[in-house]
Structure 1
């Protein structure tokens, strides 16, 4: 009973910290925008049930992406950054015209995003599409409104290991700033995990037992498991660019590399200790 009570307390603390964090990072003098739930437009979607990986940066999402993309029925493209695709009417009256036919500017953007996913599916001739852009963890409310039938994979990695990985990549980075950035992603993943149905996957499990972990993912996606997924280096995963994901030496090796040893408890930054305990590390 005490353990369950403690978990509830920690979850409430995470939610409070998330609210405080969002307040802290918003530009001075601006109000924190809260999106109202959008109407269910699933009948207009070309892709009714896309899959979104919700994770922090440096959590192994590129490894998961290339493993899934190696499946004969799963298309997992490079990071799509859908939220950067905007609709900007060139005339003042355009918004009124679109609203008259039931399309707000937000919904027009959702139609554009949906068309991009559909384009990727048609091009690949596959049946399931997975988008693993880390910033999806910061806009999961809008994604769930745009695709009410979307599916989610919550990808976890030890929070302190995420920070360590970011620091290794950004040699001159400020540790406090990185911790704050990582916490924002982790809070996004955790609040989505509490609010949405989905499958939770650990990066450490993916690297330690990729066959068992990918079997669970395939079962969730409704596709048969294929052992060839694990040999991702023999498949074409598209061009390599920094904004497309992590293309470190480990990923380029074409084989699954073991995760680094977990950080010691005393090495976990104070700001990350609540969510580290919540995730069972």
Structure 2
């Protein structure tokens, strides 16, 4: 099956890239992320499958109750696939596992849209890319990354984080620096995993996607084996957490907006913790430039 996966860290521009690909006449992208193997979550799809030998009927009930973590699973009715269609596809198998469920979903998306390729952003956490390579050895996998300062500033600045920080000054300080340190750790991990698997990955940076959009998208299409379509340049991603409402410029502006969000101490701390990884990925040849 012709499959596209976008992997990487959160806050790297995955919605923008997903929307660009989804405009293509021969591509259908799942409407949101699946988040298998997500750390600190007890209700991811993989954990439900491992806890017990889930039947198809039990899985469908979990989806209907919105009990599975990940926007795609929680809001499954927005996927364009009916519960009946998924149940029929999964009933062909004797036992369910992650590979079978993901394959069934992507196959249904592809068939219902009558396209060449189906894909999803963040099907699995970056640390489990080996599972993705095992399940889908012929998949086209795009590794998406971004300046770590921009990633962290975007996360710190998002409404959910801001709301949690409003509870108390002490809690706000803890949340702020836990977020910063955890995302630095995740950034270093993602870059390490990229280099460990780079022969199977196609590198794209958010900065390239914004500043060199046409050339970058053209080369992504070449990597995927599909023709470039100009409509792909006309879409945008979700609204930036930096609150710029001008759709024509907010992606470009967001590249430098971290400077207004991070304190000088935060900026130096991120530099100290991620400098080596950031330098290594900057020095890695970008296939589209």
Partners of 1:53 and 1:155 within 8 A in 2: yes
Alpha-carbon distance in 2 for matches of 1:251, 1:136: 29
Q: Is structure 2 residue 218 aligned with structure 1 residue 218? A: no
Show the counterpart of 2:8: 55
Q: Is structure 2 residue 69 aligned with structure 1 residue 74? A: no
Give the alignment partner of residue 162 of structure 1, picking from 142, 151, 174.
Answer: 151
Unaligned runs of 5+ in 2: 37-43, 56-92, 166-171, 284-289
Which structure 2 residues correspond to residues 91-130 of structure 1 after superposition, within 5 A?
108-130=97-119
Shift of 1:276: 1.5
Alpha-carbon distance in 1 for matches of 2:179, 2:202: 27
Unaligned runs of 5+ in 1: 1-46, 92-102, 234-244
Show the counterpart of 2:272: 270
Secondary structure of 2:18's aligned partner: helix
The 1:189–1:144 alpha-carbon spacing in structure 2 relative to 1, beyond 3 Å, is farther
Query: When the two structures are aligned, how many residues end up with a matched partner?
Result: 211
Partners of 1:179 and 1:271 within 8 A in 2: no
Show the counterpart of 1:30: none
Shift of 1:253: 6.4
Show the counterpart of 2:176: 175
Shift of 1:217: 0.3
Q: Is structure 2 residue 197 aligned with structure 1 residue 202? A: no
Alpha-carbon distance in 2 for matches of 1:270, 1:231: 37
Secondary structure of 1:149's aligned partner: coil
Secondary structure of 2:137's aligned partner: coil
Secondary structure of 1:139's aligned partner: helix
Structure 2 length-normalised TM: 0.63
Q: Is structure 2 residue 141 aligned with structure 1 residue 152? A: yes
Secondary structure of 2:125's aligned partner: helix
The 1:129–1:136 alpha-carbon spacing in structure 2 relative to 1, beyond 3 Å, is farther
Shift of 1:247: 4.6
Secondary structure of 1:178's aligned partner: helix
Shift of 1:146: 1.0
Alpha-carbon distance in 1 for matches of 2:112, 2:240: 27
Partners of 1:232 and 1:255 within 8 A in 2: no
- Structure 1 residues 247-256 or 187-196, which shifts more? 247-256
Structure 1 length-normalised TM: 0.65
Shift of 1:201: 0.7
Partners of 1:54 and 1:152 within 8 A in 2: yes
Partners of 2:217 and 2:228 within 8 A in 1: yes
